[in-house]
């Protein structure tokens, strides 16, 4: 896809993945109201503002909110920045008198700003406190790893990190406790897996990802955020979701397939739908989008990214906040 620059200037701190593709999926018309549900360093928000939208941005990280105030001032009244979880975006908007918006964007996972700061404890490439909390409150990674039993740790590593040697790693973690630093944890994982130095992918990658997802309830938050987006998007409103993990992408794919009537034909594993089946709340989703070679070369984080998008219909939102059985299946695969 062609670059939209210079009309959409890039944030020097954060080059958002699939930036042009996300803006194209949102099809922003000047004066529309859009939500950046995962503000981070503000890369997507800047692009939305430049495309003519008024933006409400949300983030649970207090650092992101504090550092975003300069952009609020720069936007001249066209940006509202909210501290809170995107799983509650409908409530956060309602508290501010907003009941419907034209578009919502999610960029799932840890932000570059969080990864780059040693003191936040997200990265195994730099030593720092074993923290990993996006909201900077609640149980830290160190707290959990030093209290959880071996089976619980192994299950998290397997389900959220696709780590096939999860039990070996969990056994090594328990034996090495207490752990307080990211370098300590990374060393324990590398020794447990006996991967020789110079391997193309650091053996700590999957485990760090899994622990982070667990500590921040990222998959539950995603399911809740998708349902909240369904409730606040006006008919014709656009949803765009960028994910970086196969389980996240599966949740988004299943949500959009279900909400667009993609399961209407049933399957041999499920009973046939009844006449009382709920109306589709989204049109048939667009084809998934992956980054091109040029973006992957410019931004290595883009390599695992997938964009899925869809347009809201006029049908009432489905009831219930929590994940249905198929969402739960996707989260535990």
pLDDT of residue 1: 38
Phi-psi label, residue 194: left if phi above 0, alpha if psi -120 to 50, beta otherwise? left
pLDDT of residue 263: 65
What would the DSSP string read from start to end of 23-61? HHHHTPPTT-EEEESS-TTSHHHHHHHHTT-EEEEEES-
pLDDT of residue 118: 66
Burial of 201 (C-beta count, 10 Å sphere; 0-12/13-18/19+): exposed
Q: What's the token pair of residue 9?
A: 């200037």
Kindly tell me if the per-residue pLDDT of 119 is higher than 90: no
- How does pLDDT run across 32-57, given as a tens digit for each residue? 999 999 999 999 999 999 999 999 99
- How does pLDDT run across 147-179, given as a tens digit for each residue? 999 999 999 999 999 999 999 999 999 999 999
Kindly tell me if the per-residue pLDDT of 264 is higher than 80: no
CA atoms within 13 A on the CB side of 217: 13
The average confidence (pLDDT) of the chain is 87
pLDDT of residue 140: 96
Grade residue 268 by pLDDT with cuts at 50, 70 and 90.
very low
Kindly tell me if the per-residue pLDDT of 269 is higher than 70: no
């Amino acid at each position: 896809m062609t670059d939209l620059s210079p009309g959409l200037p890039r944030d020097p701190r954060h080059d958002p993945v699939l930036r042009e593709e996300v803006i194209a999926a949102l099809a922003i018309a000047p004066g529309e109201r859009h939500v950046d549900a995962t503000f981070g360093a503000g890369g997507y928000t800047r692009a939305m503002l430049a495309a003519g939208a008024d933006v409400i941005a949300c983030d649970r990280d207090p650092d992101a909110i504090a550092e975003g105030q300069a952009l609020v001032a720069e936007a001249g009244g066209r940006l509202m920045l909210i501290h809170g979880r995107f799983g509650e975006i409908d409530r956060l908007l309602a508290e501010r008198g907003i009941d419907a918006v034209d578009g919502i964007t999610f960029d799932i996972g840890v932000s570059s700003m969080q990864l780059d700061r040693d003191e936040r404890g997200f990265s195994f490439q730099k030593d720092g406190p074993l923290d990993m909390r996006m909201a900077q409150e609640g149980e830290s990674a160190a707290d959990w790893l030093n209290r959880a039993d071996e089976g619980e740790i192994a299950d998290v590593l397997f389900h959220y990190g696709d780590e096939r040697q999860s039990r070996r790693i969990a056994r090594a973690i328990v034996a090495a406790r207490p752990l307080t630093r990211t370098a300590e944890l990374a060393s324990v994982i590398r020794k447990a897996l006996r991967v020789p130095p110079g391997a193309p992918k650091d053996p700590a990658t999957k485990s760090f990802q899994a622990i982070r997802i667990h500590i921040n309830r990222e998959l539950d938050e995603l399911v809740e955020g998708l349902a909240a987006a369904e409730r606040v998007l006006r008919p014709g409103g656009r949803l765009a979701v960028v994910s970086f993990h196969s389980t996240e992408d599966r949740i988004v794919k299943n949500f959009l397939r279900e909400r667009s009537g993609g399961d209407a034909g049933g399957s041999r594993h499920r009973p046939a739908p009844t006449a009382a089946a709920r109306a589709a709340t989204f049109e048939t989703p667009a084809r998934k989008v992956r980054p091109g070679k040029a973006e992957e070369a410019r931004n290595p984080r883009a390599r695992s990214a997938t964009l899925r998008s869809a347009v809201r219909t006029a049908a009432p939102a489905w009831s219930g906040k929590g994940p249905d059985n198929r969402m739960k299946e996707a989260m535990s695969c």
